Amino acid sequence: AFIAKKLMNMYSRCGNTPKAMEIFTCLHPKDTFAWNIILACHCRNNSLDEAYELFQQIPAPDLISWTTLLSAYAHCGHPDAAKSVFDRMPLRNEVSWNTMLAAYANNDRLEDAKRVFDSMPGRNLVSWNTLLDGYAQNGHISCMTALFHGMPQHDLISWTCTLSSLAQTGRMEEAVLVYESMPERDMITFNALLDGYAKYGHLVQAKSLFDSLPETNLISMTVILVGFAQSGRMRQAKEIFDRM
RNA sequence: GUUACUGCUUAUGC
């Protein structure tokens, strides 16, 4: 049963709902843990309606079942449906509050997000990052900057959200300042800055950043390739292409 | 017991 649940989760993450369902069907007894795995599987890979149907069949849904459903509505761009799930939850914790916050923040409902943020019983770094990214994604750069400076702590995600937002909107001077202040970086950080350079025509800077990277991946290659190709530097584009 | 929350970093397709 141990292994069965592990397997279900693996299939779920690979998007193979039929295989996950096959195991679930054979599984006895089906505890809430197992139900939650198959629910999360449908939330990730199938329609909301199917997920909701499944949720209704869970004999004893727990906090995780409720939060999984909430998260599905949040990710599918239905903040109001998410709110109604949230209101019907028999209990809530930090994660469910953060999920509700994300439902608003990721769907450009920043006033509502801020209201949730201010009224939640506790705020952790995920809460701060969620609101920060809401501002970042929706182009509220000054709110983002203010929040960034008001946060109690920053982690790699806080820094990268901010960098990415500046780079996406072509504020390359500020993006570089953030980049240079970062205590740590990863591939997402590199690629976010690289993409800003490439997108806004700074191909020389893009190439020199690219050459200095400790490692590259398929995304870095694609970013620089597209940058060269779209600016008509076909010889350099071909050079990258041949290396892929 | 990686069962639920924050990075949508590229392109293509739709």
Tokens 């509502």 correspond to what residue?
A112
Strand B contacted by A144 CB (< 7 A): no
Which three-class secondary structure state does DSSP give residue A109? coil
Strand B contacted by A106 CB (< 7 A): yes
Q: Which nucleotide is nearest to A105 (CA to C1')?
A: B6
Which three-class secondary structure state does DSSP give residue A171? coil
Q: Which nucleotide is nearest to A161 (CA to C1')?
A: B7
Predicted local confidence at residue A240, as pLDDT: 93
ipTM summary value: 0.78
Instruction: Measure the CA dihedral A39/A43/A49/A54, to 10°.
Output: 0
Per-residue pLDDT of chain A (244 residues; tens, 9 = 90+): 889 999 999 999 888 899 999 999 999 999 999 999 999 999 988 788 899 999 999 999 999 999 999 999 999 889 999 999 999 999 999 999 999 999 999 999 999 999 999 999 999 999 999 999 999 999 999 999 999 999 999 999 999 999 999 999 999 999 999 999 999 999 999 999 999 999 999 999 999 999 999 889 999 999 999 999 999 999 999 999 999 8
Predicted local confidence at residue A48, as pLDDT: 87
Round and report the angstrom distance from CA (A29) to C1' (B14): 41
How far, in Å, CA of A107 to CA of A238, rounded?
Answer: 39
DSSP summary character for residue A139? T
Predicted local confidence at residue A14, as pLDDT: 87
Alpha helices in chain A (DSSP H): 2-13, 17-26, 32-45, 48-57, 63-75, 79-88, 94-105, 110-119, 125-137, 141-150, 156-168, 172-181, 187-199, 203-212, 218-230, 234-243
**Tokens representing A69?**
């459903």
Residues 64-103 of chain A in contact with strand B via CB under 7 angstroms: 64-65, 67-68, 70-71, 75, 93-96, 98-99, 102
Predicted local confidence at residue A214, as pLDDT: 87
Residues 196-215 of chain A in contact with strand B via CB under 7 angstroms: none
For the whole prediction, is pTM greater than 0.95? no
Half-sphere exposure of A116 (CA within 13 A, CB side): 26
Task: Return the axis-axis angle of helices A156-168 and A141-150, rounded to nearest 10°.
Answer: 160
CB A61 within 8 A of CB A84: no
